[in-house]
A = this chain, B = another copy of it.
Amino acid sequence: MTDAARHQPEPLFKKLCLVGLGLIGSSIARAARASNAVRKIAAWDASPQVLARVRELGIADDASGDLKRALQGADLVILCVPVGSMGAVAKSCAPFLERGAILSDVGSVKGSVVAQVARHVPAGVHFVPAHPLAGTEYSGPDSGFATLFQNRWCLLTPTPDTDAGMVEELAEFWKRLGAKVEATTPEHHDLALAVTSHLPHLIAFNIVGTAAHLETVTQSEVIKFSASGFRDFTRIAASDPTMWRDVFLHNKDAVLDMLGRFNADLTSLQRMIERDDGQGLFDLFTRTRAIRKGVVEQGQDTAAPDFGRASGGKLGGV
């Protein structure tokens, strides 16, 4: 037992089974071990390459590729696969889920995940959907790290018939990993995330796409001069293509609703520019500046200029 583990509280679960070991699954494995949240960690992934890497990294106690064995004795099972695969993966797990276990997930869309997964949950298994609002632009088991969930929100979206005690147990798990936990409905989650996450990603994917196929400005110029604003969008637009394809297809209504509002606002902003409405522009930009202040004050971003990139004056070793 390490010094750190000796001073940590008792594990909350006997055995955690992670299904899917990408950025999020592998971060949960690392964070759960670092915080002594569980006694044992089993890992399963559809990709033999990912499982082999998980064994090399040593971030799970068992990564055999045998789903039955991975789920055996697991009192906490977390599905960490793209939203579009949740139903199929839940169906595969169903025969091996043990009575009394909590089945959870990390999907970025909750209405669709509930619809896909709930039907496969065996009697006596407690389904508590969850979504940790954390991630980076990288994918795969190598990209995970133990502090990913520190000071980040994890939203739980239990259905009215979910056992409250089980919701509490899962909340404790996420708090142990460093997250702040809140419960809401799947519907409200999907609306809130449509504006705070899905629309921003959609816009970023779009603007990077636009910049990539201009005739008047070359792609090499776009990259060269990207530090003047564009580069911030390229980070978000580098996020996992499969994950994001699924998010947009599975939260279609809320995303299209928010996109409609964005478009209406953009048309009005366009008219301000066309009409030389300097006061209108100034007022909008003053309001948006105030929102940033709120984000920083509430600890949701660093106050360092340029995300702290600029202060060192060096990037990427160049």
Contact = CB atoms under 8 A, between A and B. Distances in A.
B300 A226 contact: yes
Interface string A103-132: 000000000000000000000000000000
* Tally of this chain's copies: 2
Contact of A228 (B133, B288, B317): B133
Interface of A is mostly: helix
Interface residues of A, number: 121
A132 B219 CA distance: 20
A236 B145 CA distance: 27
A305 interface: yes
A195 B252 CA distance: 28
A196 B231 CA distance: 8
A212 B288 contact: yes
Contact of A191 (B145, B150, B217): B217
Given A269-B206, A281-B244, A316 B291 contact: no
A313 B178 contact: yes
A301 B235 contact: yes
Interface in A219-273: 219, 221-242, 244-246, 248-249, 252, 255-256, 258-259, 261-263, 265-266, 269-270, 273
